[in-house]
Amino acid sequence: MIDDIRRIQAEAANQIAGAASLDELATLERDLVGKGSELTGFKKQMGSLDHEARREVGAALNRAREVLAAAVAERREVLEGQAAAERATAERLDLTEVRAGRDAGHLHLVTQAIEELEDVFVGLGFTVSEGPEVEDDWHNFTALNFGTYHPARDMQDTFFVALGEPKEVVMRTHTSPVQVRTMEERQPPIYSVMPGRVYRNEATDATHLAVFHQIEGLVIDRGITFGHLAGTIDRFTKAYFGEGFSSRLRPSYFPFTEPSAEFDIQRPDGTWLELGGCGMVHPNVLRNGGIDPEEFSGFAFGFGIDRLVATRHGVTDLRELTGTDVRFLEQF
């Protein structure tokens, strides 16, 4: 019996050493040392042996099990190493490689969306403006009717820059300060959109980034009403998403618009998606921008581009948009 055990052990060790894949190794392990294996079968026969023989057979079986377990572990390590090396080769990227022609990289998904949004609004008669990402308190908050101690200041968690008076210089928390800059620089009529990067001191998760993108819209002219706002939002919704989409406005609050609303779009399947905020520009904001609220009125809106893009392309975690994994980026 001991000779049989040694023979089986030797054959099994050979097979294990020759396993070509992790799957094959797992099968061999089950067949050669598992419950139904020949070796385990010997255990059952031990009852019929005398004391001395049982001790010797038991020792030989234990030894065989140890040797084969070690052989499996050794082979597994080799095969795992090979699999990892194969994966690394398959996923290898030559970052010095220059691809010829149209395949030579492309704009980031968010940049593509910004360009598309600009095109839609230019088609509706708007111009495109930009403003600085490092802002002063006046443009980001005070001129937008956020009182110095008003709790609305805490609506957006702010990154402060160590320049000037304490809390005087900020990373802009929204694109609305560009509204004020546009009013300061130009007289109505104003029909302008302002895309750009914004910053908020918040924990990131699947639906929140600390650095994200918004697009602001500002219209100021004689006789502008809430109806013009609703109509523009709806025209935009259909132009950007398609004729099957519609929009709705829900009452909300922003210090710089009165009345204020959130706007949602309805997908053809009937579900709603919240896009951003809007409202009639508050008279104080017009005055702060050097525009007479008795003569002119206007509306503004602002929405998040990253969430828009994620919804449109089925990206379930916004953080993917900030990564550098080309396997993700190449899809768009």
**Which stretch, 56-64, 95-103, 298-306, 319-327, contacts ligand FA5 (CB under 6 A)?**
298-306
Q: Out of 176, 232, 247, 297, name the contact with ligand FA5 by CB under 6 A.
A: 176
List, as one string, the DSSP characters of 129-166.
----SEEEHHHHTGGGT--TT-GGGGGS---EESSSST
Which residue, 23 or 157, is less far from ligand FA5 as judged by CB? 157
CA separation for the pair 78, 44 (Å, rounded) = 34
User: Using the rule CB under 6 A, which residue among 212, 236, 263, 296 binds ligand FA5?
Assistant: 212
Residues 6+ apart with CB under 8 A from 144: 176, 177, 179, 180, 255, 256, 285, 288
Q: Which residues, 145 to 174, sit near ligand FA5 by CB under 6 A?
A: 156, 174
The count of chain residues that interact with ligand FA5, using the rule CB under 6 A, is 24
**Cβ 152 to ligand FA5, closest distance in Å?**
11
Contact 145, 255 (CB under 8 A): yes
Q: Is 300 in the site for ligand FA5 (CB under 6 A)?
A: yes
What CA–CA distance (Å, rounded) separates 43 from 311?
A: 62
Contacts by 207-211 with C-beta closer than 8 Å and gap 24+? Answer: 207/307, 207/318, 208/318, 209/306, 209/318, 209/319, 209/321, 209/322, 211/322
d(CA 23, CA 31) in angstroms, rounded, equals: 13
Does 181 engage in binding with ligand FA5 (CB under 6 A)? no
Write the binding mask 306 to 325 for ligand FA5: x where contact by CB under 6 A, - elsewhere. Answer: xx------------------
Which tokens go with 213?
């993108």
CA dihedral 174, 180, 186, 187 (to 10 degrees): 130
Name the residue nearer to ligand FA5 (CB basis): 118 or 258.
258
Indicate whether 301 belongs to the interface with ligand FA5 (CB under 6 A): yes
Q: Is the CB of 30 or the CB of 312 nearer to ligand FA5?
A: 312
Tokens standing for residue 191: 């029909």
**Residue 139 makes contact with ligand FA5 by CB under 6 A:** no
Contact region for ligand FA5 (CB under 6 A) — 19-27, 118-126, 132-140, 274-282?
Answer: 274-282
Q: Considering only residues 214, 237, 247, 297, which one is a binding residue for ligand FA5 as defined by CB under 6 A?
A: 214
Residue number, 9 or 175, with CB nearest to ligand FA5: 175
* Site of interaction with ligand FA5 (CB under 6 A): 156, 174, 176, 200, 202, 208-209, 212, 214, 216, 254, 257, 274, 276-279, 300-304, 306-307
